[in-house]
Each structure stands twice: as C-alpha cells, then as structure tokens.
Amino acid sequence: MNFLFNGEAVDYDFYKKADTAQTILFLHGWGGNKSSFVHTIKLLKQKYNIMAITLPTILKTNMVWNNDLYCELVLSILKMHSIDEVIVVCHSFGFRIACLLKEKINITKIVVTGGAGPKKTNILKRIEQDNNKILLSNKKFKFLFEKIASSDYKNLPNTNKQTFKNVVNTNYKNLIKFNCPMLLFWGNKDYETKLWIAKKIKKLNNAKLLVTESDHFAYLKQSALFNNAVLEFLK
C-alpha cells in the first residue's frame, strides 16, 4: 500500500484479521524497511492485525525528516485505519519513534531489540559536537566533517544527510520511560547500541531483558529465540 505524506509516497503493509482488535506495529531500524521483521510478521499475522511501514531513512527523498515527522507519519497511517491502540515491536532507530508515539497513542506492550536510546555525554563528546557544528557552518571546512563522518553518513545522498544528523543528534534519555510491559532483546556484542543502554532501559521500566550471543541484529541472527520470546511475552 502507499500513503501520501507531505507529497512523499510511503510504502506500508496492513494485514487485518477480522476476529481481533489488537494491532502490532513494527518499527524498523535505520536503513531497514517494512520487511525487516518478515519472519516475526509471518508468525504473528495469524493472530494479530499487523502494521509495517517503510520509514524513509535511506530512501531518496525530497524532504528533510526528523523524529517528530516520522512520528507524525506513523500516526497518520494508524489514524487512517482507525487504530488508536497498538503493541509495538521495534529495532534500533524504531525505538526512538516509539518513544514519541507513546505520548500520542496508547501502547499496551512493547518489544525493543537493539534500541537506540540514551547517549553517554562527556566533555570530550561535547567538544566533538561543538567542533562539528563549527565545521558545518563554515563551507571552507565542510570537507573536514565529510572526512571524519561515519560511513552511514558518507553513503547517504546529499538530500538525506540533514535527516541523518537530525536523528542521531537527538538524546532520548527523558523519553524512555513507558507505562506498559516491556521486553528487551539484546546482543552481548552489540556495538551500535551497547548493552548498558538495555540495562538502563530495563531499570527504568522494570522490563524483562534477554541477552544473547549476537550483535546489533540479534532479532535476525537469533530469530527463533526472538520469536519464541515475543510469543511468550504477548500471551
């Protein structure tokens, strides 16, 4: 299906079961798409309504996005289908969107894997961020930022680079508290969203944490374990 949002066509799937009112919303990580949780979706769509949206992260786009716009997009699609309550399953960047969504819609349960949440901030990091801002404001030195920027940033089209900066420079330490049951599924070798993040989220939400021998994509590389954990959690 396609949904037109601010002139942009957004691709999504909605599988509706006639005998249930419960909808599971899947929110993928940066660079993912609506099929990121394909194995979990296949398992759960026999019992639940399923909403899976391809958020325009690395897709070519004519507009600059930020987390609030991504949240507005998701809410608009849910509203079109008269959905005002969801269970959320999210990975990495998708957790940031869930943090905003909980202020707008009733989330009854949430599963987080490799969630991008709070950041550690120290004086060296502050200096680095300030230096980046100075470099970017001065065209003469912009090439220096390009040289030290991450590979994710370098590989983006120019129209997407501001979106990337908007997303990664947002600290969600004050938004990670949820008022619903939470399951955390993490890889002990996740160097993108390290295990300390999971432990911090766990403590704040009294969540259940499962740690596996995997990396940032534990939900894929340990898919059987992940799916079984989700099924048990949703009972």
Tens of pLDDT along 36-62? 999 999 999 989 999 999 998 877 777
Dist. CA 215–CA 95, nearest whole Å: 17
**Rounded alpha-carbon distances, angstroms, from residue 20 to 17, 23, 87, 231:** 6, 8, 13, 16
Which residues constitute the domain of residue 92?
Answer: 2-119+171-234
Q: Is residue 166 part of a domain?
A: no
Same domain, 102 and 153: no
Dist. CA 38–CA 33, nearest whole Å: 10
Total domains present in the chain: 2
Q: Is residue 98 part of a domain?
A: yes
Instruction: Give residue 63's pLDDT band: very low, low, confident or very high (50, 70, 90).
Output: confident
Answer with the residue of higher pLDDT: 46 or 74. Answer: 74
pTM, two decimals, is: 0.83
Same domain, 57 and 110: yes
Q: Is residue 134 part of a domain?
A: yes
Same domain, 113 and 137: no
Q: Is residue 13 part of a domain?
A: yes
CA-wise closest residue to 115 among 52, 211, 34, 186? 186
Same domain, 68 and 35: yes
Same domain, 69 and 138: no
What is the structure's pLDDT at 24?
98
Dist. CA 78–CA 171, nearest whole Å: 26
Dist. CA 225–CA 235, nearest whole Å: 16
CA-wise closest residue to 66 among 153, 152, 165? 165
Q: Is residue 164 part of a domain?
A: no
Tens of pLDDT along 115-148? 987 665 544 444 444 445 544 555 544 554 455 4
Same domain, 198 and 215: yes
CATH number, domain containing residue 223: 3.40.50.1820
Q: Is residue 12 part of a domain?
A: yes
Q: Is residue 217 part of a domain?
A: yes
Same domain, 175 and 106: yes
Determine the average pLDDT of the residues in 16-32.
Answer: 91
Instruction: Give residue 153's pLDDT band: very low, low, confident or very high (50, 70, 90).
Output: low
Same domain, 210 and 102: yes
Same domain, 97 and 210: yes
Same domain, 136 and 212: no
Q: Rounded to a whole number, what is the largest CA-CA distance in the chain?
A: 61
Is residue 30 within 8 Å of residue 24, measured between CB atoms?
Answer: no
CA-wise closest residue to 97 among 81, 82, 130, 75? 75
Q: Which of 63-72, 155-164, 214-223 has the lowest mean pLDDT?
A: 155-164
Q: Is residue 113 part of a domain?
A: yes
